[in-house]
Amino acid sequence: MIFTHRWLSILEGCLLVALGIHLLNSSHLLISGTAGLGLIAQHLSSLTFGELFFILNLPFSILAIRYMGKDFTIRTFISISLLSGLSELMRRYLDFTISEPIMSAVLGGMLIGFGLIILFRHQSSLGGLNILAMYLERRFGIHAGKTTLAGDVVIVTLALFVFEPVQVMYSLVAFVFMSSVVGRYHRPPAWAKVQQA
């Protein structure tokens, strides 16, 4: 029963994140972390976001295996694969646009934030910066929201070379809403609290 609950929750988290990313991508906006790198890179290559997201996350598997354990790494790899697959399905079969980019930024950022909360609470992640955030939280007690926010700065800097300034500005709104959701609703798991004590 616990096994089923965990994997259904992970699927739900991936669905929320995939929908948020698809919404942002449809409005030519981006988000932080490896997903943001994937959204930037798709403008510079012939690969889709789903393909790039999967490829970009492969190097982080080493960090996950070494510091986060086998179970976490397996859950994360499956979550990454799910998000990549769901992103491809949405790209092919879910076609919609929102005329007002600020609405896309708010909704997309919140959807991604809540999806990440679900994954974090079931000891999974979407690789990349999420793995780094959970590692820093476990090892040093640094809140995942702070690491995510630091990653936003790097993504924005890179985005300025690819996106128009107005797109980056609206994307910052998505960053803020995502970080706000993670910061307000994420609670460090029991093992993190024990290590902080």
- Residue 165 covered by a domain: yes
- Residue 28 covered by a domain: yes
- Residue 118 covered by a domain: yes
Residue type at position 156: V
- Residue 195 covered by a domain: no
- Residue 194 covered by a domain: no
- Residue 11 covered by a domain: yes
Task: Please report the pLDDT score of residue 193 as a whole number.
Answer: 44
Task: Please report the pLDDT score of residue 195 as a whole number.
Answer: 39
- Residue 76 covered by a domain: yes
Q: Read off φ and ψ for residue 21, nearest 5 degrees.
A: -65, -40
Tens-digit pLDDT string for the chain (197 aa): 556 888 999 999 999 999 999 999 999 999 888 899 999 999 889 999 999 999 999 888 777 887 778 888 899 899 999 999 999 999 999 887 788 999 999 999 999 999 999 998 888 888 887 677 777 887 888 887 787 778 777 888 889 999 999 999 999 999 889 888 988 886 765 444 433 33
- Residue 55 covered by a domain: yes
Task: Please report the pLDDT score of residue 191 as a whole number.
Answer: 40
The boundaries of the domain holding residue 83 are 2-189
SS3 content of the chain, % helix, strand, coil (to 5): 80, 0, 20
- Number of domains the chain is built from: 1
Residues 56 and 38: beta-carbon distance below 8 Å: yes
